[in-house]
Amino acid sequence: MIIGFVQTKGGTGKSTLAVNMAFSRTMHREFDSIALVELDSQGTLKSWWDERQEMSYNCRNVSFHHISSSQKEVFQQGIKAISAHNDLMIMDIPGEGTGKLHTRFACAFCDLVIIPLRTSTNDETAFMNNLYPIIKQIIQAVPEKRDNFFVLPVFVHPLVNPRKCYEYFDEMLPAYISCLEAVYPSRAVYENFNRQGLNLQEYSKLVENNKKYRQQVERAIEDIENISQTIIKTGRMIHG
């Protein structure tokens, strides 16, 4: 399976979601080999991974790949080679202002395209103006891709009933885009866990003696597991 977190806007939680999904218990039960792939030339995840290597953290069956090239043939060949040798590939696609080469490729190549989106007029307008036209072009060229695109509500207040988010997006989303029945809540822990190359599971051990922080990270882990389970279920429904 190939999953892409795609948004032309930056700061929507794509990298945090990609990292922690790659290390989630759900994904490790389902897949023997997992590739985490970053296409962002800034190398945010690469820096995080380098810290992991320096600290000698156990990466289990997760491998990391950073492809910074903007040459179409180079990154296409690299991604295809990685996907051929892994049961699951999770792609972190950079926000792109012009050209959107990586975005177009991910929309065409991935089995599931996950679009982190806030219930915000600005975010919705940016999505409709920048990403949705690409999705429509892909579907026109490859009609069987029409069931592959899903919005994930992000930065949701922890006390909001998730059902309200699903209903909101079900009403406003255009054709070919569905809403996952999972949310990515707004939690401070998502801003702090990844120091020194940690993932959420490792961070929970670091703060296990602090009841407040431990509870926060445990809730965040539950978030990621729920999102991972929903994505697996959705992938099975679409692709069998």
CA quadruple 228, 229, 232, 237: dihedral, nearest 10: -140
Interacting residues of 135 by C-beta distance below 8 A, sequence separation 6+:
107, 113, 149, 176, 177
Identity of residue 51? E
Q: What confidence score (pLDDT) does residue 99 get?
A: 67
In order along its 240 residues, the chain shows pLDDT tens digits of 999 999 988 788 999 999 999 999 999 999 999 999 998 888 889 999 999 999 888 888 999 999 887 788 888 899 889 999 999 999 999 887 656 888 999 999 999 999 999 998 888 998 999 999 999 999 999 999 999 999 999 999 999 999 999 999 999 999 999 999 999 999 999 988 988 899 999 999 989 898 888 999 999 999 999 999 999 999 998 877
Angle, nearest 10°, between helix axes 72-84 and 101-109?
30
Q: Which domain holds residue 196?
A: 2-239
3-state secondary structure of 121: helix
229: CATH: 3.40.50.300
Q: What confidence score (pLDDT) does residue 42 get?
A: 83
Q: What are phi and psi of 41, to 5 degrees?
A: -65, -20
- The number of distinct structural domains making up the chain is 1
H or E segment to which residue 150 belongs: strand 149-156
3-state secondary structure of 92: strand
The total of other beta-carbon atoms located within 10 Å of residue 122's CB is: 9
> Residue 141's closest CA among 105, 188, 194?
105
Interacting residues of 76 by C-beta distance below 8 A, sequence separation 6+:
105
Interacting residues of 195 by C-beta distance below 8 A, sequence separation 6+:
none
3-state secondary structure of 91: strand
Q: What confidence score (pLDDT) does residue 97 get?
A: 65
